[in-house]
Amino acid sequence: MGRPLSGDSSAATGERKGLELWSSLPKASQETTVAIASAFEDDDSPHKINICTPGYRDETGKLFVPPTVRYAEKQFHSESMVSREALPIEGHAPFLDAGVKFAYGGDSHPYRHKRVAAVQAVSLTGALRLAGTFLSRFPTLPPTKTVFIPSPTTDEDVTALQDAGLEIRSFRFLDLKTGGVDWESLREDLQDAPMKSIVLLHVSGSAPSGAELTTNQWRLLASLLQEREMIPLVIMAFQGLSSGDTNRDAQALRFMVHEGLPVVLVQNFDATMGLYADSPSIVSIVTRNSEDKDRVESQLRVIGRGMWTHPSPWGAHIAHQILTDGKLHPSWLKEIRLMSNRLRSARNKLYVQLVDKLKTPGDWAHIKKANGMYCTALLPSAQTEALTAKHHIHLLPDGCFNLGSLNSSKINAFSRAIDSVVREGIREAEEAQAQRLAMELALAAAKEQAAREETQREEEREAAEMRAAREEDTLLMERSIANAIERQKREEEEERKREEQRKREDEQQRKQREREEIARQAEAILATI
């Protein structure tokens, strides 16, 4: 008889040895937008604003769904037009055909000659992961695959490409002085990148900066990519929202395809159709011929099988209906134009608030020049942090924000907060400058005082040395005089002794002469006797 399934008390309390397996597991750091959303929820201020929430939103802050899409959804619901059968691995074929035509153009050579391999993916990030995995495997050379991503880039893009097995490196994209594209740095970084590298590019508005290449810069970039044999990995998530014209927004993509670049496109309809829940996306790759198309699609299907097997049908059917219906499609294009105009209006209102009404110091032209859903405040990190800490404005750490999340009241609050932190930053800078100047003056005065004291000490040292020299000279002179006197005394004593010696000798000579004279006189007397 087998052992009963009920465990002992140690198992009930979770103390089995096997459960310790997860105790040493490190906790992952929160993705940036998730962390911002958490901070926003924890913010108790009634005036808090989150302007980095994803998606295009209406005046009430709800995700906007174009009327044509709502109509199509109601039609599908009422007529039960969507089958409950699962889609094949590659997705809904009519949606793929319509999406490819929408992206590359119905009159483009790759579309007309069926040279575009395409599969459906789940969400923009999922599509990027699928594309990244494909590029990590093919082509087989070089063995180490490197993808160059623009700086800044969203966390989810980085994660998707890293998990796909690609080595991540960045190239300079946003000019932190002008808010536009740092073209010279971009070109320099890609020129120095290894041959055959993958380059992540955004068409129709870059996320999260909103900076956009000019038409001429796109042409120059295409030439550089050809020269370096690079693979453009293109994200097009906002087609039509930059200029209001879906064909115009796709020009950069179509030009690269026309120039023969091996474009890998990640395409999404969340923002333009409000299909955030299903997030129908497409990964497409332009090939040389239909045979190559079949090869590429077979590999994309293999990768998709390991990720989701069956992509969601609902969003794909809705998107296909919007892209192909003779009445809905023109209406939707008009709605896209209105959505684009609203984004442009939000930029203009923010610009007018800062420049004309608040007269906020600084150059804010980059706000009007930005394209698509995103823009950057282009503030120093301290001021960006102050927006959240002091004014409860929650945005990305690099100062980027989603224009689609702004309404009139948020624009007013955001502009006033920017004006406040900028002016406070100027005051702090002026105070810091005054403090630096005061410190410099104090340092100069201290140096001058130290120099005076050093001069005084030097003079005192010189005076002391002179006194010591004089004292030494005096001592030497006194010693010399004493020696001279002593020498003179010795000489006088010696002279005295010599004089006494002479006197003694003279006396002896005198006495000798006297004796001789007496002897002579005696002899004379004797001679007379």
317 is a domain residue? yes
Q: Which residues contact 100 (CB under 8 A, 6 or more apart)?
A: 111, 116, 118, 282, 284
* Helix (H), strand (E) at residue 393: strand 393-394
DSSP class of residue 29 equals P
355 is a domain residue? no
384 is a domain residue? no
The token pair that represents 455 in the structure block: 């001069």
429 is a domain residue? no
147 is a domain residue? yes
Query: Distance between CA atoms of 369 and 373, rounded to whole angstroms?
Result: 12
The pLDDT tens digits for 233-256 are: 999 999 999 999 999 999 999 999
Whether residue 515 has pLDDT greater than 90: no
pLDDT at 3: 56
- Give the pLDDT band of residue 9 (cuts 50, 70, 90): low
- Residues above pLDDT 90, as percent of the chain: 72
DSSP class of residue 402 equals E
For residues 341-369, average pLDDT: 95
Count: domains in the chain: 1
Write the CATH number for 302: 3.40.640.10
Query: Distance between CA atoms of 138 and 298, rounded to whole angstroms?
Result: 12
For residues 74-82, average pLDDT: 78
Cβ contact 208:187 at 8 Å? no
488 is a domain residue? no
pLDDT at 111: 97
**Strand, helix or coil at 263?**
coil
Residue numbers of the domain that contains 321: 67-333
The pLDDT tens digits for 274-289 are: 999 999 999 999 999 9
- Give the pLDDT band of residue 491 (cuts 50, 70, 90): confident
Query: Distance between CA atoms of 101 and 108, rounded to whole angstroms?
Result: 8
> Worst-scoring range by mean pLDDT, 79-93, 152-166, 479-493?
79-93
pLDDT at 81: 66
Cβ contact 272:64 at 8 Å? no
What Cα–Cα distance (Å) separates residue 385 from each residue in 179, 394, 400, 486?
Answer: 19, 9, 12, 93
For residues 305-309, average pLDDT: 90
**Strand, helix or coil at 176?**
coil
> Worst-scoring range by mean pLDDT, 65-69, 423-427, 462-466?
462-466
29 is a domain residue? no
129 is a domain residue? yes
pLDDT at 32: 86
Average pLDDT, the chain: 92
Q: Which residue in 367, 336, 317 sits closest to 94, CA to CA? A: 317
pLDDT at 85: 80
What is the residue type of 193? A
- Give the pLDDT band of residue 496 (cuts 50, 70, 90): confident
**Strand, helix or coil at 281?**
strand
Cβ contact 161:142 at 8 Å? no
- Residues above pLDDT 70, as percent of the chain: 96
